Amino acid sequence: MKRYLPLVLCALAACDAAETPATPDAMPDGADAAMGSPDASPRDTAPPMDGSPSDALASDILPPDARAPDGMPPADMTPGDMAPGDMAPETTPDGLPPDAAPDGGPPAAEATLVGDCDPGVDRPGARCERVRVEVDGLPPIDAVLRISEADPARGAVVFGSGTGGGAWVLDGMVGSDLARLADDLVADGLTVIERAWSGGDPGGWFGGGAGGLTLHADRYAALARWIRDRYVPRGGALCVTGNSGGSVELGYALFRGLGRIAAVVVPTSGPANDLRDACWGEVDRPDYFAQCEAWWSAQVAAGATTCAAGGRRCAFGGGARNLIDAAFGEGVDPCNPQGGARDGPSDEALALLADDAPRVPGQRARPVIRVLLGDGDCSGVVPEGAFWAERLAAAGLDASWALLPETRHNVLSFPDGAAALRAILEAHCR
């Protein structure tokens, strides 16, 4: 009997796929494996990583100088003020600019096409583009995009790999349920784009400078705008998914502009809900640990997880904490003290993690948000991902989570994971 536990708002109607042997990719399960092991990179790419989220208001979606006293956009704001991309919708359905972002907007960030690249052999007919992404305060990083283009196209689906994002998700997946899903999406008019971050830094999108995960996720927000402008026709849909470290990328980018332009956001195996809990929960945050243990117990009682009592986790392992620290710069280490010392977090470390927490996108950001988790994934990203979706739903967003049967950390590598994503995209990526 299949078991689906969307705790909030919606069930995944078409997720009841036939039970077939799973075809996991090469990445092992577990928190350290999920976010601390390198992805096999495509061309000239870097190894990998992961991170976390927290709270906000509807008024966060526009800069302060663009808001009326009640936090709403001024009455004289018109589409002519909004500078859309050539192929992008001029406004979102509520008449606001697609690229509006909270807190005065992200720092200056742009993406520019560098040229073509080698698409590899696992996606016949695909092509490759290298895009340079520059964010103020960080060194440039290249995104290597493998593109299976629909003709004609009505939208695009972006797939993001885990850890630091150094791989294409469909590499090594020929003949899998996920590869068949990608082919079907293209046939249905959705261009499939695989995102891999390239460069010399071992942290991928997490690495290459200080500033925290919020600043680093501006890289994805800038890239998503570029993809929308180039590959999404006017009135079309941009839909995005990312696993593990890639889900963290989405969780942060969501309130940095991604929520204004994406129709569907599907994090898998994450994201984290609060970096303080993800980094220090089990020993140093007893209230969170009690909440997390109660959550695991409820899933066991419902028959929704295969994780035994001794194997369930509430916080990230040391490898994942090291990856989070990469975004804060050398020697800062708020998530994992240098040298592995475990005296507990300092007040400064907890403050730094709390300050670098994604907010809930404002009420005018209305993507459909579905978090997919595996019933065989016992790592701390599972309860954290569920708590994140619940918090967004409580703030009025269309957000929910589901535990999928016979599925582990690399959710889309398993038949039920691919089937769940298919159901979500068929229902909402329009």
The stretch 100-129 carries a mean pLDDT of 82
Q: What is the pLDDT of residue 370?
A: 98
Q: Quick check: 58 pLDDT over 80?
A: no
Output the six-digit token pair for 119.
């698409």
Residue 301: the pLDDT is: 95
pLDDT at 206: 92
Q: What tens digit of pLDDT does each residue of 123-147 get?
A: 999 999 999 999 999 999 999 999 9
Third-level CATH fold of 31-277+353-428: Rossmann fold (3.40.50)
- What is the mean pLDDT of the segment spanning 55-72? 28
Cα Rg of the chain (Å, integer) = 20
Task: Map out the domains of the chain as residue ranges.
Answer: 31-277+353-428
Taking 60 as the threshold, does the pLDDT of residue 45 lie above it?
no
pLDDT above 70 (res 17):
no
Q: Which two tokens stand for residue 45?
A: 């790419």
The average pLDDT across 393-404 equals 94
Is pLDDT at 294 greater than 80 in this prediction?
Answer: yes
In this model, does residue 67 exceed pLDDT 50?
no
Least confident of 61-65, 313-317, 388-392, 401-405: 61-65
pLDDT of residue 208: 87
CA 105 to chain centre: 19
Higher pLDDT, 67 or 155: 155
What would the mean pLDDT of 186-212 be, rounded to a whole number?
90
CB 260 within 8 A of CB 96: yes
| Tens digit of each residue's pLDDT (9 = 90 or more) over 326-350 | 999 888 889 975 444 456 778 888 8
DSSP-assigned letters across all residues of 194-261: EEEEESS-TTGGG-SS-SHHHHHHHHHHHHHHHHHHHH--TT-EEEEEEETHHHHHHHHHGGGTHHHH
Distance CA 101, CA 271 (A): 20
State pTM to two decimals: 0.78
What whole-number distance in Å separates Cα of residue 201 and Cα of residue 368? Answer: 33
CB contact at 8 A, 84 and 112: no
DSSP state of 400: E
Strand pairing of 237-243 and 264-268? parallel
Task: Kindly tell me if the per-residue pLDDT of 263 is higher than 70.
Answer: yes
pLDDT at 317: 78
CB atoms within 10 A of CB 414: 28
Task: State the DSSP string of 111-125.
Answer: EEEEEEE---SSSTT
